[in-house]
Chain A
Amino acid sequence: MRVDWVRQGREGYCIDEIIHCNHFTTMIQEEDDPKEYRWESGYEKTWEALQEDESGRLEPSVTEMIQRAKRRKLLEREASVRLGIMRHVYVILDLSQAMNEQDLKPTRQICTLKILDDFIKEFHDQNPISQLGIITTQNKMAKRHSDLSNNPQRHLDCIKKMHKMPCKGEPSLQNSLEVALSSLKHLPPHTSREVLIIFAALTSCDPGEVGATLQKVKEGNIRVSVVGLAAELHVCREITKETGGSYSISINDLHLKQLIDEHLEPPPASVKMDHTLIKVGFPHQVNADAKPALCMCHLDDLPPLNTQGYYCPQCTAKYCDLPAECRVCGLMLVTAPHLARSYRHLFPLKHYSEIPLEESSAKLCYGCQKIFITGAADKYVYKCRNCQQVFCFNCDIFLHETVHSCPGCASNPTLSQTPTNN
C-alpha cells in the first residue's frame, strides 16, 4: 500500500491562496504520469509565476492570476449534464486522535467545525430541497448525531456540541459507512445519495473487510467523496474511485474550505437514477379558521401560541419556518422561491466570451457603468453571446456566481421572454 507523502509546508512565495493553489494544481497534473516520489521531482519555483510590470509593481500580475483562476473555475463547472438536485448528503466527520493536531489553527477539530458550520448554512441556502445528516467516528465506532433533515438549526446545534467533544481513539471507515448506508439505502431512487467524509487520520480500524462494505455502497448507488487533512490513503482512493466521488487533500485551512465548498454544488446525476413526480405542498400563510396553535418545529421549546405561520395544505399543521417536512403527514413543504433557488443549476448562465478591450467598442460596463481603462484590470472584457452587451470582470464573476441571470438579456424585449434565458 503506497502512501504519497503530504504536500504540506511547501508554501513557496505566495501572496494569495489562489495563486498557490493555482500553481499547485498545475504541478499535480504534471506529475501524474511519472510515478516518482515528490521529493524526486524538480524544484518548485513558485516565485517565478509573479512578474513585475514596467513600473515595478506586482499588483497587476497578482490581479491577473486571481482573475484567471476564478474564470477557470467557472468554465470547469459548465457542462450540460443532468444534475442530482434532490440530494441526501451524509457528512462523516473524523473525530479521532489525529484531529488534535495543530497544523490547522487552533486545532484541526475546531477549524474543521467552523468550516462545517458555514458549509451547513450555505448548503441549505443553495439546496433548499435537499437533506443533510451528520455522523462522527471515534474510538473505533461511528455514531449518527443528526438524522437527515432539511432544517439547518438541528445540524448547527450538533456542531456546537461537537466543539466540546474530546477527540480520541481511532476512526473506523467501515462502521461509519455502514451507519450511512443503513439510512441511505431506503431512500426512493430518484434522489441523489452522497457521503462526504472528512478524514484526518492515517489509519482506520474496522471490524471486517472494507471491500464488502464498499460493494454494498456501490449497489446502493451512493457517491462517496473524501476530503483528507493529512495524507492520501489508498483505501480512500479506492472508495472514491469505485463510487464516482472526488478525493482531495487540503494544504491549509483556506484550501480546506475551498474543497468542502465544492460539495455545495449538485453533482452530475448517476445513470441509474429514476425520475418520479414528488408530491409537494406549498403552504399558505392565511387560514380562514385559524386558531392560535403551536408550531410543529418548536414542540420542545413551547413558545406562546399564535396564528402566524405556514399551514400544511394536507393536515393544517403549523410551521413557522420553511422548508420543512410535515411531521404529521410527511408532506414536503416548500415555497416557490425555494424551488427557484435550484433553478440556477438547471438553467445556468452560459459563460461570456472573453475579448480584449481593444476589440470591443463599448466604453463602459453595461452593468455597473464603470469606464474601462486600458490596463491590467480591464485587459479583457466579457461579452454575453446572446445580447452582445459587454461587462467588466467583477460584474462577470458576480453574475456567474451569485445572480445567474444576465441583465442585458433581461433588458432586451426579444430575449427576455424565453424561459431558459440562456
Chain B
Amino acid sequence: MGSEGCLLVMVIDIHPQLAEAEQHAHTYLDACISFANIHLASNVRNTLAVIAANHQDTRFLYPSTTEEQDKRQKDGRLELLGLVDDSIERELRSMVVGKHQGEQTESLISGAIGRGLLYIKRQETEDILSKRVHARILVVKISSDTGGQYLNYINNYLSAQKIGTAIDVCLVGSDCGLLQQGADITGGCYHCIHEITELLQTLIMMYQADVATRKKLNTPAPEAVDYRAACFCHRSLVDMGNVCSNCLSVYCKAVPLCTTCNVIFQTDRPMKIGKKKK
C-alpha cells in the first residue's frame, strides 16, 4: 500500500443477464461498491474511477459527469465514500433504465478498458508532483465472450503494458482466455469464481493489495497461459501455422490465396541454378 496512493479503475460488467436472478444483481453490485469503498478507505491518497459496461454502452459511474446536489453525510462515515456510493447509484440507474435495443451480445469491456487507460494517462500528465502514478485496472466480468473484439483488447493490453498499468481480472462464471492473456501480459492477477456469493471475499483477498505489495505476499504462481494463435479459417488454436507475409493472417494449412488481403502466394517453384537458398 505504501505512502503514495494508488489509482484503481474498476471496470464493471453490467450485462442484462445479471437481471435474470434479482438476488445475484444485488450481491454483485454490493460487492463491487463495497470493494470501491475499501480501496478508498485503506489509504487517504488512493483514488478511484468506476466505469460500467453493458452490451450497448460504457459509462463513467465515478467521477460522475452529471451535477449533483451537495449532500451532507448523516451517518458519520467518510464523506467521500458516501459521494462515491451516490454517484455510482445515480449513474447506474440512468444507464440501466432505458430501452434495450438489439440483441444481447457481449459486454463492451474493451471500450471501457480503453477509456480507463485514457483516464490514467490524464492523471499522469496532470499530477506533476509525484513522479509516477501507480494505477491499476480491475475488470469484474460476468458475461461470456465471442472473440470479435480481439484487436481492441490486444491494443489495450499492449498500451497498458507500455504505461505500466496492471490489468487484474475477476471472472464470475466461465474462463475467458483473452482476459487471461491480458492479465499475463500486463502483470495482473487473473481469477475465476463460480459462485457470485464468493465475489466480495475474492476481491478483498486477492485484489486489494496493489502490485508492489503483491510481491511481498505469498501468492500462488499463475498458471501457464495459452498464447497460441487461432487460425482465420476455423477459429481453432494452432500449434504450427502458415502466416501471410503481407497481412500476418494465420492459416492452419497452405492456401493459395490470402482471404484477408487478397494476395496470391508464390508457391515453391524450382529454384534457378546458381541461386543459393538461405
Contacts and interface: CB of A to CB of B under 8 A. Distances in A.
A331 B242 CA distance: 11
B35 interface: no
Contacts of A366: 115
Contact of A405 (B121, B152, B244, B245): B152
A191 B230 CA distance: 24
B65 A276 contact: no
Contacts of B229: 282, 335-336, 339
B278 A402 contact: no
B149 interface: yes
B236 interface: no
A245 interface: no
A398 B121 contact: yes
A413 B104 CA distance: 10
A10 to B, nearest CB: 32
A285 interface: yes
A277 B265 contact: yes
Nearest to B108: A411
A367 B60 CA distance: 10
A347 B151 contact: yes
A278 B278 CA distance: 14
Nearest to B278: A186
Nearest to A418: B148
A274 B267 CA distance: 10
B141 interface: no
A98 B194 CA distance: 67
Contacts of A342: 248
Nearest to A387: B111
Contacts of B148: 416-417
B61 to A, nearest CB: 11
A286 B222 CA distance: 13
Interface in B80-120: 102, 105, 108, 110-112, 114-115, 117-119
A314 to B, nearest CB: 7
A280 B240 contact: yes
Interface in A190-210: 190-191
B55 interface: yes
Interface string A278-296: 1111111110000000000
Given A367-B115, A394-B121, A313 B56 contact: no
Contacts of B60: 369
Given A282-B229, A403-B159, A407-B118, A277 B58 contact: no
Q: Which of B150, B181, B237, B266 has the most CB of A within 10 A?
A: B266
Contacts of B158: 337, 340-341
A369 B119 contact: yes
B56 A413 contact: yes
Contacts of B111: 407-412, 416
Contact of B149 (A286, A368, A417): A417
Interface stretch (B14-22, B129-137, B210-218, B250-258): B250-258
Contacts of A368: 115, 118-119, 121-122
A187 B250 contact: no
Contacts of A369: 60, 63, 65, 119, 122
A346 interface: yes
Contact of B245 (A86, A398, A419, A421): A86
A186 B245 CA distance: 17
Contacts of A413: 55-56, 102, 105, 108
B198 interface: no
B204 to A, nearest CB: 28
Interface in B124-168: 125, 148-152, 154-159, 162-163
B79 interface: no
A400 to B, nearest CB: 11
Nearest to B184: A337
A161 interface: no
A276 B240 contact: no
B263 interface: yes
B57 interface: yes
Contacts of B57: 411
Nearest to B263: A275
B119 to A, nearest CB: 5
Given A336-B227, A402-B162, A411-B112, A278 B119 contact: no
B121 A416 contact: no
Nearest to A279: B242
A343 interface: yes
A337 B156 CA distance: 11
Given A276-B265, A369-B65, 7 more contacts: A279-B242, A282-B228, A343-B154, A395-B121, A403-B114, A413-B105, A416-B111
16 contacts: A129-B248, A275-B264, A275-B265, A278-B245, A280-B242, A280-B250, A336-B181, A340-B151, A340-B155, A342-B248, A365-B118, A367-B114, A395-B118, A405-B156, A407-B112, A408-B111
Interface of A: 82, 85-86, 129, 186-191, 269, 274-286, 313-314, 331, 335-337, 339-344, 346-347, 364-370, 391, 394-395, 398-399, 402-413, 416-417, 419, 421
Shortest Cβ-Cβ A-B pairs, 4 listed: A407-B114, A411-B111, A367-B118, A410-B111
